[in-house]
């Protein structure tokens, strides 16, 4: 979901006059990367919802592999895009994990 929101925001900001299908061209490198990252974590029988180290690993693989695939596909990777992508993906991909952890702790504290 984080990757799809990222692609849709990029399309509306930079390619609003193009077809909505351009979202697929934007999203596929990162969607494939996040699926592969989660698969790797699951194959190691690790929980994917933990922020550290699994969430950071998923973020790193998604970002690096996504950028490589984007570059290979001819979409380009401007300096500003590298920074914005990293910040957005870090906030969203680690953010939900942090919120989940905090709410789980609060629930556990209330039941204790």
Coil, helix or strand at residue 1? coil
- pLDDT value at residue 68: 98
pTM of the model: 0.88
Tell me the pLDDT tens digit for each residue of 16-38. Answer: 777 888 889 989 999 999 999 99
Nearest to 28 by CA among 44, 12, 6, 59: 6
| Per-position DSSP letters for 53-90, written without gaps between them | IIIHHHHHHHHHHHHHHHHHTT----HHHHHHHHHHHH
Domain coordinates of the chain in residue numbers?
2-111
Q: 27-86: per-residue pLDDT in tens?
A: 999 999 999 999 999 999 999 899 999 999 999 999 999 999 999 999 989 999 999 999
């Amino acid at each position: 979901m984080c990757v799809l929101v990222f692609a849709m925001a990029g399309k509306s900001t930079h390619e609003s006059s193009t077809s909505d299908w351009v979202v697929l061209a934007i999203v596929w490198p990162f969607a494939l990367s996040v699926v592969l990252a989660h698969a790797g974590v699951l194959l190691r029988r690790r929980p994917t919802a933990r922020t550290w180290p699994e969430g950071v690993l998923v973020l790193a693989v998604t970002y690096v592999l996504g950028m490589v695939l984007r570059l290979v596909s001819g979409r380009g990777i401007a300096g500003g895009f590298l920074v914005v992508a990293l910040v957005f993906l870090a906030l969203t991909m680690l953010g939900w994990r942090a919120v989940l952890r905090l709410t789980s702790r609060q629930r556990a504290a209330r039941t204790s």
